Amino acid sequence: MLPPPSAAVVASTGKSGADFVHFDVPLWVWAALIAVIVVLLLADLMLVHRTPHDISLKEAGIESAVWIALGLSVTIGIFAWHGGAAAGEYLSGYLIEKSLSIDNVFVWAVIFSYFGVPNRYQFRVLFWGIFGALVLRAIFIFAGVALIEAFDWILYVFGGFLLVTAWRVGRHSETEVHPDKNPVLRFVRRVVPSTPDYDGQKLFTRRTGRLLATPLFAVLILVETTDVIFAVDSIPAVLAVSRVPFIVFASNAFAILGLRALYFLLAGMADRFRYLNIGLAAILAFVGVKMLVAEVYHMPTWLSLTVIAAALTVTVVASLRAEKREAAEPREEPIP
């Protein structure tokens, strides 16, 4: 039986972790979380997307709503388990990861466009991409928590890195991806025998008795490498609002589980979110400052939630209003 919140939740003993919730998670709870994630992934692959097909905007919208509802419902479970502080940390981490992942979605669109991947085959690539992302995030999270517990000064490194990232993101409004210059992809193409032809949604195919990688395998490699880059930004950001590995991993996992549906919903809407880079920069800058001042002042969870939600709301509203104004302006006809 799980201990009651009053017994399980205590202040973190480390100085850098003061005012964060801290509790031990039984192995069976970790096993249950992983089992739920695996079941959701398999159900999505074997039932919802059993056969390859073009995913409509309506289907993507419904699936996105379901995934978001699942992610938010975990907040209720954590609240019942360990109280409002833990639930607030989970929700903050979920919102941070979800908002930062939107940029990742647009990068996927560039990659798929570059390789000319048919819409009906994109889901399978993203399925394996999400699976790999979950494993990588788990490694990054436990490494990050271990570093913070061992070295208090690492907070300043993470905080400074987030501020630099915020500056970089804020200055560039367009997603720049150059698959042909990716060193990982170049290495894979040199060592893995490949074919330029697709074979349905297979990553590998047999031709003249040889096992060859299809272009989808190259796309998967790019998706995974870009996720590593985004994880380097997002994991320190989530560690600014929680130090419990279970909360950090759960918030990351449920945020990225729905990215496939979100991709099919937003892939063609990059131009409509023209101020997305500014909103993401504001969030990264806030959590960077939160880390830098953590030794002297712990920003309450409600403040983190307020700032993140406000940044997302202002970004979306300002972007849509700008597009509406632009659409209403009369266009000058070119002089023949």
CB 242 within 8 A of CB 21: yes
What is the percentage of the chain residues whose pLDDT exceeds 70? 87
Over 60: is that where the pLDDT of 17 sits? no
* Least confident residue range of 1-15, 197-211, 250-264, 316-330: 1-15
Highest mean pLDDT among 52-66, 256-270, 292-306: 52-66
Over 60: is that where the pLDDT of 105 sits? yes
- The span from the CA of 296 to the CA of 215, in Å, is 51
pLDDT tens digit sequence for 163-205: 888 888 777 655 555 666 667 777 777 888 888 888 888 888 8
Over 80: is that where the pLDDT of 271 sits? no
Instruction: List the one residue out of 220, 55, 252 whose CA is nearest residue 127.
Output: 220
Q: What is the pLDDT of residue 294?
A: 73
Instruction: List the one residue out of 37, 248, 231 whose CA is nearest residue 142.
Output: 248
In the block, tokens 């279970």 appear at 246
Q: Which two tokens stand for residue 310?
A: 């406000």
Instruction: List the one residue out of 118, 119, 127 whose CA is nearest residue 45.
Output: 127
Q: Residue 82, Cα to own-chain centre: how many angstroms?
A: 25
Give 204's strand partners: 213
* Threshold 0.95, pTM exceeds: no
Over 80: is that where the pLDDT of 119 sits? yes
Q: What is the pLDDT of residue 181?
A: 67
Q: What is the mean pLDDT of residues 19-27?
A: 87
* Least confident residue range of 14-18, 239-243, 315-319: 14-18
Q: Which two tokens stand for residue 199?
A: 């074979």
- The span from the CA of 264 to the CA of 58, in Å, is 10
Task: Please name the amino acid found at residue 243.
Answer: R
Q: What is the mean pLDDT of residues 140-164?
A: 84
Q: What is the mean pLDDT of residues 305-312?
A: 84
